[in-house]
């Protein structure tokens, strides 16, 4: 039987189940599709495609050296798959599962229907801790560990590759797209180099470096674009991190990496929310929040926030930095969303789309879950309102970051604050706390917690195992416990 590997957000060679399976077939071919639906989606930016194409260039050479051709074609997925089947009569379609935006969910349903009609067997393999068709969150964390602790997929020596022409793929220019902003190094080799350097010592300052925009760029792993595009597997990052924690004599490094390991777990926890409820890309988690901000959207405030001219220097510096580099540390991302949601009283959807275009590491599952969490519309999370002034005092006390990105700060050219912070926050709190006090909100919060809330699962902390008696007790813990991992 001949096989076709459909690459999506898995642009790597190592730990790749569909590629490994393809080697068992009589003939195989790999394909990446540049889909018009993606290019037209409101969260797309040319930097996303530029990064993907750079990753594909490396992967194409890696696969070619093992005898597997990689095609890059443009068009709707079903059309491309159908056209290719006329040229190369594959009977088995292999891919990884994807938790993405609504357009990709609809695309996958169309591909599944086409495969059934054509007699093509489509096998999808999991590649993160996200579980398909999950009934509830009980035991989810244990499943995450079982999947991440399993051995990496053994990769074959070579393939019986199909005999096809592999012309050069598209470029941004050939697709009529503008040039992308400057990008970091792309591809699997870059991802592994980043991981190795982080685990070898750069991550030693992780815990104290991650909150400040001055230190986070160097102190964080910077693997997020690579996890988003799959140039390295979550399992490989997890296992390499745990091995370093277990074996390093540097306890400061081990302590820092335990914090990093915890965030790997939260990565999939947030993605699971979108997998379980795709509608949260468009509507509030808690429906009692419907109408809270939608009719109050202020376009002028929104544009000032997008352009980094709100008159709040830490907000403006972070936004300008993000727009220039495509990356920002987590705390400052949260501050930007908090400012839009509470200070400016903007509904999260438009700011979320704007930020999706700015983030090179845009991961829909994490992004939309966080947009709602930081906007107070999940109904279950504590309201997290970030003061830009306090963030500047705590994480840029000398004003170095602000002066770098807002050079006109302190001069007449810099705008006055776009809102009265104290009055804006008082009004935001009054509205949200009043809503949360209603019986309807409390009842809905219970339902949201049951479906999406985190839970303990009797799991060991990174780099150690809990005593047997404690593990058993925690495995029996209430499903309503709030913490996913210790």
Nearest CA to 38 out of 175, 204, 138 is that of: 175
Helix (H, G, I), strand (E, B) or coil at 175: coil
Contact 24, 245 (CB under 8 A): no
Asked if residue 339 belongs to a known ligand binding site, the reply is no
Determine the Cα–Cα distance for residues 340 and 186; give it in Å rounded to an integer.
Answer: 31
Contact 108, 118 (CB under 8 A): no
- DSSP E strand stretches across 69-180: 70-74, 92-96, 121-125
What own/partner pairs with CB < 8 Å and gap ≥ 24 does 416-419 have? 416/311, 417/310, 417/311, 417/312, 418/301, 418/304, 418/310, 418/311, 418/312, 418/344, 419/301, 419/343, 419/344
Asked if residue 206 belongs to a known ligand binding site, the reply is yes
Contact 99, 9 (CB under 8 A): no
Q: What angle do CA 305, 401, 182 make, to 5 degrees?
A: 75
DSSP secondary structure letters along 382-443 = PP----HHHHHHHH-TT-HHHHHH-TTTTSTTSPPPSS-HHHHHHHHHHHHHHHHTSHHHHH
Alpha carbon of 143 to those of 36, 155, 363, 456: distances in Å?
35, 24, 21, 12
Compute, in degrees rounded to 10, the torsion defined by CA atoms 99, 348, 36, 224. Answer: -50
Nearest CA to 160 out of 88, 67, 61, 30 is that of: 67
Binding-site entries for FAD: 206, 260
Binding-site entries: 206, 260
């Amino acid at each position: 039987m001949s096989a076709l590997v459909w690459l999506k957000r898995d642009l790597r060679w190592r730990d790749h189940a569909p590629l490994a399976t393809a080697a068992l077939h009589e003939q195989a071919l790999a394909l990446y599709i540049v889909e018009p639906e993606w290019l037209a989606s409101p969260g797309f930016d040319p930097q996303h495609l530029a990064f993907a194409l750079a990753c594909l260039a490396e992967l194409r050479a890696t696969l070619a050296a093992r005898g597997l051709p990689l095609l890059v074609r443009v068009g709707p997925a079903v059309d491309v798959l159908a056209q290719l089947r006329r040229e190369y009569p594959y009977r088995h379609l292999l891919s990884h599962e994807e938790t993405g935006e609504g357009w990709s969910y609809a695309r996958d349903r169309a591909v599944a229907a086409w495969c059934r009609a054509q007699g093509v067997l489509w096998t999808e393999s999991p590649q993160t801790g996200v579980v398909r068709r999950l009934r509830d969150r009980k035991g989810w964390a244990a499943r995450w560990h079982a999947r991440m602790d399993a051995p990496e997929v053994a990769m074959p020596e070579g393939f019986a590759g199909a005999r096809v022409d592999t012309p050069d793929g598209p470029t941004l220019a050939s697709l009529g797209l503008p040039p992308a902003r400057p990008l970091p190094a792309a591809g699997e080799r870059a991802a592994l180099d980043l991981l190795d350097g982080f685990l070898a010592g750069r991550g030693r300052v992780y815990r104290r470096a991650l909150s400040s925009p001055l230190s986070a760029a160097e102190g964080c792993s910077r693997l997020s674009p690579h996890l988003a595009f799959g140039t390295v597997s979550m399992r490989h990052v997890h296992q390499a991190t745990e091995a370093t924690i277990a074996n390093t004599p540097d306890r400061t490094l081990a302590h820092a990496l335990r914090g990093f390991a915890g965030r790997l777990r939260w990565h999939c926890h947030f993605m699971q929310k979108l997998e379980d409820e795709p509608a949260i890309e468009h509507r509030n988690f808690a429906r009692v929040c419907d109408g809270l901000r939608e009719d109050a959207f202020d376009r002028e405030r929104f544009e000032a926030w997008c352009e980094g001219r709100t008159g709040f220097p830490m907000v403006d510096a972070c936004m300008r930095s993000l727009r220039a580099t495509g990356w920002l540390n987590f705390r400052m991302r949260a501050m930007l969303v908090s400012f839009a949601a509470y200070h400016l009283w903007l509904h999260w959807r438009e700011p979320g789309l704007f930020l999706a275009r700015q983030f090179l590491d845009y991961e829909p599952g994490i992004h939309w879950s966080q947009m709602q969490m930081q906007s107070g519309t999940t109904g279950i999370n504590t309201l997290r309102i970030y003061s830009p002034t306090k963030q500047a005092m705590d994480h840029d006390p000398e004003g170095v970051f602000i002066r770098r990105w807002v050079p006109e700060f302190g001069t007449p050219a810099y705008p006055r604050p776009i809102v009265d912070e104290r009055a804006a926050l008082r009004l935001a709190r009054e509205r949200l706390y009043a809503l949360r006090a209603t019986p309807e909100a409390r009842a809905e919060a219970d339902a949201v917690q049951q479906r999406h809330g985190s839970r303990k699962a009797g799991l060991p902390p990174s780099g150690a195992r809990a005593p047997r008696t404690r593990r058993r007790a925690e495995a029996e813990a209430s499903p309503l416990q709030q913490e996913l991992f210790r």
